[in-house]
C-alpha cells in the first residue's frame, strides 16, 4: 500500500514538473516531447490511483471505476509514449540537419 501511494505522489509531481517545464521551451518540438513525458506520468498516476482505490475499498462499484481509471491510464501512457518516441526522432533529425 505505501508503495502505491509513493508511486502516485512521484507520478503526480513528475506530471506537474513536465507541464511547468513546457513553458521554458520556445521550440514546439521540445514542447511536444516534454508533453509526451507528462502524459506518461499522468497515465501512471491515473492507473495507480485506480488500483489503490480498489485495494482500499474492494467493492464492485470501485472495481468498475478502477477498470475505467486503468483504461484511461493505459491510454494516456500509450499515447504519451507514441508522442515521446515520435518527437524524440524529430529532435534527433533536426539536430543532425543543423
Question: Does pLDDT of 17 surpass 80?
Answer: yes
- Those residues whose C-beta lies under 8 Å from the C-beta of residue 61, and which sit 6 or more positions away, are none
DSSP code at position 22: G
Classify the phi-psi angles of 2: left when phi > 0, otherwise alpha if psi is within -120 to 50, otherwise beta: alpha
Per-residue CA distances from 90 to 4, 27, 38, 86 (Å): 34, 12, 18, 6
Convert the pLDDT of each residue in 55-84 to its tens digit: 999 999 999 999 999 999 999 999 999 999
pTM of the model: 0.92
Among residues of the chain, what percentage have pLDDT more than 70? 99
- Residue span of the structural domain in which 8 resides: 2-97
84-98 average pLDDT score:
92
How far is C-alpha 27 from the geometric centre of its chain's CA atoms? 21
How many structural domains are present in the chain?
A: 1
Amino acid at each position: 500500500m505505501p508503495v502505491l501511494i509513493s508511486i502516485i505522489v512521484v507520478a503526480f509531481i513528475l506530471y506537474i514538473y513536465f507541464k511547468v517545464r513546457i513553458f521554458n521551451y520556445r521550440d514546439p518540438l521540445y514542447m511536444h516531447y516534454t508533453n509526451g513525458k507528462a502524459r506518461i506520468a499522468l497515465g501512471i498516476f491515473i492507473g495507480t490511483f485506480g488500483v489503490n482505490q480498489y485495494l482500499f475499498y474492494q467493492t464492485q462499484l470501485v472495481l468498475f471505476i478502477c477498470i475505467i481509471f486503468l483504461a484511461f491510464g493505459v491510454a494516456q501512457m500509450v499515447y504519451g509514449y507514441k508522442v515521446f518516441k515520435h518527437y524524440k526522432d524529430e529532435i534527433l533529425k533536426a539536430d543532425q540537419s543543423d
